[in-house]
Chains A and B, each alone.
Chain A
Amino acid sequence: MTREEIYKALDEVFEEVFDDESIHVTDTTTAEDIEDWDSLEHINLVVAIENRFGIKFNMSEVTSMKNVGEMVDIILERQ
């Protein structure tokens, strides 16, 4: 998948997890930008992204990712 395709798929995952079809994520999107992105939804989001892309983040990745861009970098590496 290209970076653009990953973002398109990520939009769908975010829309489903946060039940909000208006969400469009970018490299700089963080939890500050999405109202319901709290610690519980973060777990749901990570698991949903893993299921969508067939990958597993390790714990240090989960805690160190600062924005969606860093998440996409990892997804691109794992393909």
Chain B
Amino acid sequence: MNRFSIKELEIGHEESFVFELDERKVKQFLMITNDINPLHNDLEFAREKGYSEKVVYGMLTASALSTLAGVYLPGEKSLIHSVEVNFVKPVFLSRCPLTVVGKVTEKDDRFSRITIKFTIIDKMDEKVSRGTMKIGFLE
């Protein structure tokens, strides 16, 4: 786990990691959220809607942002203030694992807060989501 303080991070600092997803994790997400939407759980339904396979929950892929902040950037001292995420392409299990990349784009020492721009990319190098996070630091 990283333990960056705000002083140790400069604009442009980048961290990335691989985020594994499989059918078991999709089912666990269903159990936690009770989101029974068939697009994520019914292959026939997904095919009827024009997808080759079930679509992975966008919010499951976004859960990787918790890891991005809490483990990598900045890591242990992370306090997530806000997350803005755009789901630009569907995620399929056949195109996993995903790669999560975060980069510091703003830094405010007065408020001990950084802004990170992130992208999540699938195995075929397609960007599936992108957005920004504002993250504070534990004292």
Contact = CB atoms under 8 A, between A and B. Distances in A.
Interface of A: 40, 43-44, 46-47, 58-59, 62
Interface of B: 81-82, 108, 110-111, 113, 134
B110 A59 contact: yes
A2 B82 CA distance: 34
Contacts of B82: 40
Contacts of A58: 110
Main secondary structure of the interface of A (DSSP, over half): helix
Contacts of A59: 110
Nearest to A43: B111
A62 B110 contact: yes
Given A40-B82, A43-B81, A43-B111, 9 more contacts: A40-B81, A43-B108, A43-B113, A44-B134, A46-B111, A47-B108, A58-B110, A59-B110, A62-B110
A58 B111 CA distance: 11
Nearest to B111: A43
A47 B113 CA distance: 11
A58 B134 CA distance: 20
* A46, A47, A58, A59: most-surrounded residue (chain B CB, <10 A): A47
Nearest to A50: B108
